[in-house]
Amino acid sequence: MEKKLFVGIDVSKKTVDVTFFHIKDIRKTEYKQFENNQKGYKEMIKWIFSFTKFKKEEIIFCLENTGTYSLLFSKLFTEENYFVWVENPLQIKQSLGIKRGKNDKLDSYEIATYAYRFQDKAKLFKMPSKVLMALQDLEAYRERLLHARTAISQAGSELREFDKINSKFIKNSTADVVKNLNKQIEEIETKIELLIESDEELKKMFELVISVVGIGPQIAVYMLIHTQCFKNFETVRQFACYCGIAPFEHTSGSSIKGRTKVSHLANKKLKSLLHMGALVAVQHDPELKAFYARKKKEGKHHLNIMNIIKNKLIQRVFAVIKRGEKFMKYDEYKQYKKVA
């Protein structure tokens, strides 16, 4: 059904700013701010319908993906069968051209305008499963504990030791805190393992992903979270772009002939994890080890080769998910073909 009412929502921790307009007169707008909670959501819906009498199917709600802050409204829209479009903030920002000034009211209007201009690209938001959301929360907490452990460890190792008494106290205190953090990290990792084991679909996908040489448990968990069990990305190329490992050409006419390179717009954590996975794969996968040696002999740069290997890894992951079968090493595959 054609969308006739466009609602832009700018989400912050405590409040949401809402602007909407009708397709027949996009210059006539209504604006109001609400609390970012269930009460605020109900007040917003009541406020919108005090101006309009549209059917649910004729309304599109668009908001930026701000993580946990935007999750509540996204969940409530989904439960009441509204069309909600949760978009990447950078995508909205870069589509609007040059901006002079910024405030929440203006942002909500620009989000509504974005929804109107690009309504043909609108994607209906689907809530992740409860088990996947729990996995995301546990992994996010684990990451914070790892950062805290690194920070505390550095504090103990950077002492100048002019005062031996205080230096000894700090070192002992640091050791106690790090020990406690290690214990908590182990507990979180155990909970993550049990959570994956508790869900049949998640368990199967996890086992398929880690069957690829170079993809360890941590990379597998991150991939499951950020792909929502491989439902958010239709192609390997899309996911490669998200991870910042897809090469892009940089040329124009005869004057601009830049080298092909990856974009800096990426999930940096996933990119870093995939790099570590590629290093492991080069050591333990004979096919990729031979590939690396061959490309190095041809004069290719180390990082260029590693980027190709990262792409090969995610291609393998998507392939095993599509087939529903664990990854076979090259020697195993040749033996399988002989028997077949």
3-state secondary structure at position 252: strand
pLDDT reported for residue 96: 73
- Across all residues in the chain, what is the average pLDDT? 88
pLDDT reported for residue 227: 92
Task: Check: pTM over 0.85? Answer yes or no.
Answer: no
Contact 1, 17 (CB under 8 A): no
Determine the Cα–Cα distance for residues 6 and 240; give it in Å rounded to an integer: 32
Nearest to 111 by CA among 34, 29, 36: 29
pLDDT reported for residue 259: 66
Q: What is the mean pLDDT of residues 157-164?
A: 65
What are the tens digits of pLDDT across the range 95-107?
877 666 678 888 9
Provide the pLDDT confidence category of residue 167 given band limits of 50, 70 and 90. confident
What are the tens digits of pLDDT across the range 68-103?
889 899 999 999 999 999 998 878 887 877 666 678
pLDDT reported for residue 156: 65
Residue 159 has pLDDT above 90, yes or no: no
pLDDT reported for residue 55: 87
Question: What token pair was written down for 159?
Answer: 């002492």
Q: What is the mean pLDDT of residues 284-305?
A: 94
Q: What is the mean pLDDT of residues 281-306?
A: 94
pLDDT above 70 coverage of the chain, percent: 88
Contact 278, 306 (CB under 8 A): yes
Provide the pLDDT confidence category of residue 334 given band limits of 50, 70 and 90. low
pLDDT reported for residue 313: 97
Provide the pLDDT confidence category of residue 264 given band limits of 50, 70 and 90. confident
CB atoms within 10 A of CB 52: 13
Kind of pairing between the strands at 83-87 and 15-22: unpaired
Provide the pLDDT confidence category of residue 270 given band limits of 50, 70 and 90. very high
Identity at 61, one-letter amino acid code: F
Provide the pLDDT confidence category of residue 23 given band limits of 50, 70 and 90. confident
